[in-house]
Amino acid sequence: MRAAFGLAGILVTIGVIAWIMYKVEAPDIEASHAVQQQAETLVNQLNGQDANGVKIEDTYKVFADSREDGKLQDLQITQVTPAGPMDQKFGLRANDVVIAAIDGHTVRTDLNGLNSEQEGVEAIHEAYTSGGQLVVQRGNQTLTLPLPKTMPNPNSPPLSAQMQQNAQKTEQQQEGKSNDGSENGTMDELHQRLHSLPGY
């Protein structure tokens, strides 16, 4: 009987230790995983490809509008892969008309007057890889993509209060914040936590 109680005590002790280790280590493991995902996303962006190694130029299609002198006027988007890199990064849609590309150094390239469709595609590529923006004509609106997070998407139905609350929580989680808005996961903090793990 004593042996049984002794064995039960050992199992309970092991269970408590495992629970404590999970509570202590799990956040660090999750943080290191988040840092790894962010790094992979950045590398893919710099390489101009999606997570599967597909070039961004293969995830959307364009129709080039040309001027009378043969130079490019703009690029009409005819197709965008849903949830693909151009959709996720810019929110680009079919029927958008790209009129300018802005690179990560805020250098703007107007497509009107470029020599060819290829130069326009290259400007879009540069905007993507450098973390820049696209200026598009969408219906009767001129938009700079990606749209600010606080700005609702044109033509989108209004969100219910619950949907807005869920969207806010998701946005805070993506920014490394807790649900109360406090900072709890900046890149510096994640970097420090990653290097405090055993083996780093």
Percent of the chain surpassing pLDDT 70:
50
Q: Hey, CA dihedral for 167, 169, 172, 173, is it positive or negative?
A: negative
Alpha helix (H) residue ranges in the chain: 2-46, 85-90, 117-129, 161-174, 187-195
* Domain region containing 78: 56-145
Asked whether the predicted pLDDT for residue 200 surpasses 90, the reply is no
Q: Would 155 be classed as within a structural domain?
A: no
Residue 70 CA, chain-centre distance (Å), reads 36
How far apart (Å, rounded) are the C-alpha atoms in residues 26 and 106? 40
* CA within 13 Å, CB half, 74: 14
pLDDT at 61: 96
- Between 43 and 95, the higher pLDDT residue: 95
Degrees, nearest 5: CA angle 56-138-50: 15
Q: Would 123 be classed as within a structural domain?
A: yes
Percent of the chain surpassing pLDDT 90:
42
Query: In whole numbers, what is the pLDDT of the chain averaged over residues?
Result: 75
Instruction: Tell me what the mean pLDDT of segment 14-41 comes to.
Output: 64
Q: Would 102 be classed as within a structural domain?
A: yes
pLDDT per position as a tens digit, 123-136: 999 999 899 999 99
Asked whether the predicted pLDDT for residue 140 surpasses 80, the reply is yes
Residue 150, both tokens = 């606080």
Number of independent structural domains in the chain: 1
pLDDT per position as a tens digit, 49-67: 777 777 888 999 999 999 9
Q: Would 122 be classed as within a structural domain?
A: yes
pLDDT at 189: 57
pLDDT at 47: 64
pLDDT at 174: 44
Residue 73, both tokens = 């006027």
How far apart (Å, rounded) are the C-alpha atoms in residues 172 and 184? 10
How far apart (Å, rounded) are the C-alpha atoms in residues 136 and 92? 9
Q: Residue 137 sits in a domain of what CATH number?
A: 2.30.42
Asked whether the predicted pLDDT for residue 137 surpasses 70, the reply is yes
Q: Would 117 be classed as within a structural domain?
A: yes
Q: Would 193 be classed as within a structural domain?
A: no
- Between 79 and 12, the higher pLDDT residue: 79
Q: Would 114 be classed as within a structural domain?
A: yes
Instruction: State the pLDDT confidence band at 177, using cuts at 50, 70 and 90.
Output: very low
pLDDT at 51: 72
Q: Would 111 be classed as within a structural domain?
A: yes
pLDDT per position as a tens digit, 70-104: 999 999 999 999 999 999 999 999 999 999 999 99
